[in-house]
């Protein structure tokens, strides 16, 4: 009897709890914490605002472009642009474009010492943190010791594989904010298989090198043996160069089977070897391996083109759209691309040398148009006028994009980027992470603290017809 009474009491208690819960849900709940109602970041939707499925097709934009098959630059114009690229920054600069066979740059010890002084100030201000959020208190002292142990050198070597080109002689990542892993500020660039470098300084593990597009520190184990002057010339100045026009192309030790020597990326050029073997077995190229020069076999014939292929709107846009959805990586982290590397690789595949840095890229091109003081409507008109003369890059501080065209009321561009901000109804903003190459409207971001892309654009860079006597930097 007592047991039955106890059971009835338990059932009553449970019923009371359920009734209380029902009352609680009928009353408005308190607002969730701000960090839940407005998350700091979130994955962007599959189709981002103002984007439609057809915007992700190259043919959609080519149908809107004037004379898509007309060559925009002849060989003389490309040669002139490349010479200009070499003059945009001092040869000793970390962002300089250089001719590796002609460069006379020495080991920049004093500049590297100043870099460490700036790093020390950033650490003191709490603006450089390790991945776990710790302040790197002893890092500068370690880097100073490694710099002091680095001896000047002068030799040409080649990357055996993709490897980080670090801003400092250390592999550890540095971030500006705790928990933000998107931007390793110690990553200057990514050196890729087959890219040549001049070794300017040698330490026990890290060597300071000058790539064709900038300088940095690499792990010495990622580099080939030193090349002689003749080997370097035969690698970089061969009379017939094969241009890699697809991304991630295997280079093998034999025509069938064999060992994978490396993965060639878009824009790499390699000496093409001729003969019956080349005609029968695909494209035979010269590569630099761990024991020096050797033959490599590219089985995908369509992944290789002549170095003198014409630059047209159609060719570049179609090639750009093959890189759609490829992952974003600041400084090329992990073999990925950021905005400037995307454009550098695209134009390199047509023999046009762009700098590695977006600000330096804004100084390139046949014509440069300052639109800083224009209204959004005036900027849109200037962009569309420029697009009639050739391919147009859109520069805003810290970012650069390839203009595609207009659809309805909006202009669109293709670019590689991390994300965009959206305001939250109750205040605050969410970073919508995209982290790949995609097409966006220039209106994206309006109403956020970053503002719309078109509001931030300051310069147009045109590759095509010569500029008019007025309205361009190059004419002044």
Q: How many CA atoms lie within 13 A of 464 on its CB side?
A: 22
> Which range (43-47, 93-97, 324-328, 440-444) has the least confidence?
93-97
pLDDT single digits (tens) 380-397? 999 999 999 999 999 999
User: What is the reported pLDDT for 383?
Assistant: 98
Residue 161 has pLDDT above 80, yes or no: yes
Average pLDDT across the chain, whole number = 90
Q: What is the pTM of this model?
A: 0.89
Arithmetic mean of pLDDT, 240-247: 96
- The b-or-e profile of 175-194 (16+ CB within 10 A means b, else e) is beeeeeebbbbbbbbbbbbb
> How many other C-beta atoms lie within 10 A of the C-beta of residue 14?
10
Question: How much is the pLDDT for 295?
Answer: 95
Q: What is the per-residue pLDDT across 173-198, written as a single tens digit (0 to 9) for each?
A: 999 987 677 899 999 999 999 999 99
DSSP string, 294-333: EEEEE--GGGEEETT--EEHHHHHHHHHTTTTPBB-GGGG
pLDDT by residue (tens digit) across 97-120? 999 999 999 999 999 999 999 999
Confidence at residue 426, expressed as pLDDT on a 0 to 100 scale: 87
| 16 SS3 class | helix
Q: Can you tell me the mean pLDDT for 14-30?
A: 32
pLDDT of residue 180: 72
pLDDT value, residue 92:
83
Tell me which residue has tokens 């050739």: 390
Query: Cβ contacts of residue 194 below 8 Å, gap of 6+?
Result: 158, 159, 251, 262, 264, 268, 270, 287, 288
pLDDT of the residue at 468: 53
What are the chain's domains? 43-75+308-465 (3.90.1720.10), 92-235 (2.30.30.40), 238-306 (2.30.30)
**286 to each of 234, 236, 327, how far by Cα in Å?**
9, 10, 29
- The 10 Å Cβ neighbour count of residue 375 is 11
Structure confidence at residue 25 (pLDDT):
30
Sign of the dihedral through C-alpha 463, 62, 322, 319: negative
Residue 143 is predicted with a pLDDT of 98
Could you tell me if 424 and 430 are in contact, meaning their C-beta atoms sit under 8 angstroms apart?
yes
Where residue 133 falls among pLDDT bands split at 50, 70, 90? confident
**Weakest-pLDDT range from 29-33, 340-344, 471-475:** 29-33
Which pLDDT value is given to residue 4? Answer: 46
Q: What is the mean pLDDT of residues 148-177?
A: 96
**Are 358 and 400 contacting, i.e. CB atoms less than 8 angstroms apart?**
yes
Which residues have CB under 8 Å from 303's CB, separation 6+? 244, 245, 246, 249
Indicate whether 27 pLDDT > 60.
no
The residue among 5 and 44 whose pLDDT is bigger is 44
pLDDT tens string 196-234: 999 999 999 999 999 999 999 999 999 999 999 999 999
- Give the pLDDT confidence score for residue 471 in this predicted structure: 45
């Amino acid at each position: 009897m007592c047991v039955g009474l106890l059971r009835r009491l338990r059932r009553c208690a449970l019923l009371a709890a359920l009734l209380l819960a029902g009352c609680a849900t009928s009353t408005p709940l308190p607002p969730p914490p701000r960090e839940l109602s407005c998350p700091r970041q979130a994955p962007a939707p599959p189709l981002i605002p103002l984007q439609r499925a057809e915007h992700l097709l190259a043919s959609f934009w080519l149908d809107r472009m004037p004379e898509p098959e007309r060559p925009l630059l002849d060989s003389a114009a490309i040669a002139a642009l490349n010479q200009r690229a070499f003059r945009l920054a001092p040869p000793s600069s970390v962002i300089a474009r250089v001719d590796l066979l002609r460069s006379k740059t020495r080991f920049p010890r004093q500049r590297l010492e100043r870099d460490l002084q700036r790093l020390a100030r950033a650490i003191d201000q709490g603006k450089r943190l390790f991945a776990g959020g710790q302040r790197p208190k002893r890092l500068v002292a370690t880097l100073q010791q490694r710099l002091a142990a680095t001896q000047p050198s002068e030799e040409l070597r080649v990357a055996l594989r993709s490897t980080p080109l670090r801003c400092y002689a250390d592999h550890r990542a540095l971030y500006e904010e705790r928990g933000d892993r998107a931007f390793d500020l110690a990553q200057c660039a990514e050196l890729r298989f087959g890219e040549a470098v001049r070794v300017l300084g040698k330490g026990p593990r890290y060597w300071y090198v000058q790539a064709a597009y900038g300088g940095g520190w690499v792990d010495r184990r990622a580099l080939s043996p030193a090349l002689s002057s003749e080997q370097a010339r035969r690698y970089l100045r061969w009379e017939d160069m094969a241009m890699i026009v697809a991304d991630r192309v295997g280079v093998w030790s034999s025509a069938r089977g064999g060992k994978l020597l490396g993965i060639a990326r878009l824009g790499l050029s390699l000496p093409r070897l001729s003969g019956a073997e080349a005609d029968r077995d695909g494209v035979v190229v010269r590569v630099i391996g761990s024991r020096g020069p050797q033959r490599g076999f590219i089985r995908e014939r369509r992944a290789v083109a002549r170095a003198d292929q014409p630059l047209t709107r159609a060719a570049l846009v179609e090639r750009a759209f093959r890189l759609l959805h490829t992952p974003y990586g600041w400084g090329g982290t992990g073999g990925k691309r950021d905005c400037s590397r995307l454009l550098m690789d695209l134009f390199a595949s047509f023999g046009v040398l762009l700098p590695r840095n977006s600000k330096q890229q804004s100084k390139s091109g046949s014509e440069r148009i300052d639109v800083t003081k224009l209204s959004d409507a005036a900027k849109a008109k200037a962009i569309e006028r420029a697009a009639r003369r050739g391919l147009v890059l859109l520069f805003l501080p810290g970012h650069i994009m390839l203009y595609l065209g207009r659809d309805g009321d909006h202009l669109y561009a293709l670019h590689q980027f991390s994300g965009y901000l959206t305001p939250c109804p109750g205040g605050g903003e969410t970073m919508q992470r995209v982290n790949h190459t995609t097409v966006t409207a220039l209106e994206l971001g309006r109403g956020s603290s970053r503002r719309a892309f078109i509001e931030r654009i300051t310069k147009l860079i045109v590759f095509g017809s010569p500029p008019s006597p007025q309205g361009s930097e190059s004419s002044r």
